[in-house]
Structures are given as structure tokens and as C-alpha cells.
């Protein structure tokens, strides 16, 4: 029984040491596109129209993913672009999903105002059925560092705007003027500090007893 406990102590201590070397989960913030700025009766229909998720991948890189609601697709109506946004400071855009490219900077999204940067749908035309439904993903980097907090609202109070075709066939911009869900990194499983202390304690006790046993021989 004592041997099993000692082995468990060494296993726990070793496992926790390995866990500290593994990649850790990153914080993310989700913005919901709820503001309807589309043309036509009822605009683009009932929202929400999609989400924009920001994930802090590294200290100098944020991954952006825009996912539209079911039966929606990106538009090429001329009212805006696939995604328009503001980031404080100089940035570099990369790893853009196929069918999309860096758009105008700055860029205007009809009634939602002007944004510092944009991504455009290269193959989208009007509200055609063949337009891409996404999702759209890309990275934002900066040599001086970029965080989720650097994504700021424009002068009209909007963080993001997107030119889409609604499920009802109408086109235009939908926007996000606040974030609705902030997800912190989940706690390590199990709690690393407390469990590593337990494991180290068991291992140390076994080592001490082993030395005493040798000394008494």
C-alpha cells in the first residue's frame, strides 16, 4: 500500500510538471451582430445575425472569427464589406480565409460609420446565392503587441459591421455595438499548484522514509 502511495506521489508530481509545459487555453470575447441596418422591409430579418469571436492566441496575435447565422451569407452590395473593425495602433492582417482579402482602410459601413480596417469578400456580388456563407477567419498581429482590449468602438459606437444577405434575401450591414460574453481561460485541471504540492509532499515523504530505512539497516 505504501509503495502504491509513493508511486502515486511521483506520478502526480511528474504529470503536473509536464502540464506546465503544455499550451494553455486563451481568453476570448464574443461580440454578437444584433443591430439591423439592412435595406428593404424588415431589413435582414430577426437577429442575431452572427457572432465575431476574438481569441487572444499570443501576446502579439489575436485570432478573429466571424460566423453568420443559418441561411445567411456575405454580400457584395457596396454598403460595406465582409467585416469592418477598429484596432488601436498599427496592425498586420494575415491567415485570411479563402475567398476573402484585406479590404479598404479606412472603410465606411453605411449608417454604422467609418472603421480603421476591413476584410472584403472577393467573390461576393450583390446578394447572389453563390456568395460565401463563411465562416471568415483571420489574424491580427502587431510587433508592439495587440490584445482584445485594443479592438475599440468607432465614433458611432460600433465595434464591428458586416455586409450580409439576410435569411429573407435582403442585403445590408449588421453591426455589434457591445460584447455580450467574455470567456476567461478555464482553470487548469486539476488545480496545478495545490495538486503539485500534494504530489511533491507524498514524494518527499517517501524519500524521507526510504533514507530512514537505509540508515537503520
Are the C-beta atoms of residues 27 and 185 closer than 8 Å to each other?
yes
Determine what percent of the chain is predicted with pLDDT higher than 70. Answer: 70
Through-space distance between the first and last CA atoms of the chain, rounded to whole angstroms: 22
Residue spans per domain, the chain: 28-183
Q: Is pLDDT of 70 > 70?
A: yes
Q: Is pLDDT of 86 > 70?
A: yes
21 phi and psi angles, rounded to 5 deg: -90, -15
Q: For residue range 167-214, list pLDDT tens digits in order.
A: 999 999 999 998 755 554 444 444 444 444 444 454 554 544 555 555
Q: SS3 of 93, please?
A: strand
Model pTM above 0.85? no
Q: Is pLDDT of 139 > 70?
A: yes
Amino acid at each position: 500500500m505504501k509503495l502504491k502511495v509513493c508511486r502515486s506521489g511521483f506520478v502526480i508530481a511528474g504529470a503536473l510538471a509536464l502540464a506546465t509545459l503544455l499550451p494553455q487555453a486563451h481568453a476570448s470575447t464574443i461580440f454578437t451582430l444584433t443591430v439591423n441596418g439592412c435595406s428593404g422591409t424588415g431589413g435582414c430579418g430577426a437577429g442575431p445575425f452572427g457572432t465575431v469571436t476574438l481569441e487572444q492566441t499570443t501576446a502579439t496575435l489575436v485570432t478573429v472569427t466571424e460566423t453568420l447565422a443559418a441561411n445567411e451569407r456575405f454580400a457584395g452590395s457596396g454598403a460595406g464589406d465582409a467585416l469592418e473593425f477598429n484596432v488601436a495602433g498599427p496592425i498586420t492582417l494575415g491567415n485570411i480565409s479563402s475567398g476573402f482579402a484585406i479590404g479598404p482602410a479606412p472603410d465606411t459601413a453605411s449608417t454604422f460609420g467609418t472603421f480603421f480596417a476591413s476584410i472584403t469578400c472577393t467573390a461576393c456580388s450583390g446578394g447572389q446565392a453563390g456568395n460565401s456563407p463563411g465562416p471568415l477567419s483571420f489574424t491580427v498581429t502587431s510587433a508592439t503587441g495587440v490584445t482584445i482590449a485594443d479592438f475599440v468602438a468607432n465614433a458611432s459606437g460600433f465595434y464591428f459591421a458586416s455586409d450580409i444577405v439576410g435569411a429573407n434575401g435582403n442585403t445590408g450591414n449588421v453591426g455589434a455595438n457591445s460584447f455580450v460574453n467574455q470567456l476567461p481561460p478555464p482553470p487548469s485541471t486539476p488545480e496545478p499548484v495545490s495538486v503539485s504540492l500534494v504530489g511533491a509532499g507524498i514524494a518527499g515523504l517517501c524519500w524521507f522514509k526510504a533514507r530512514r530505512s537505509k540508515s537503520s539497516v
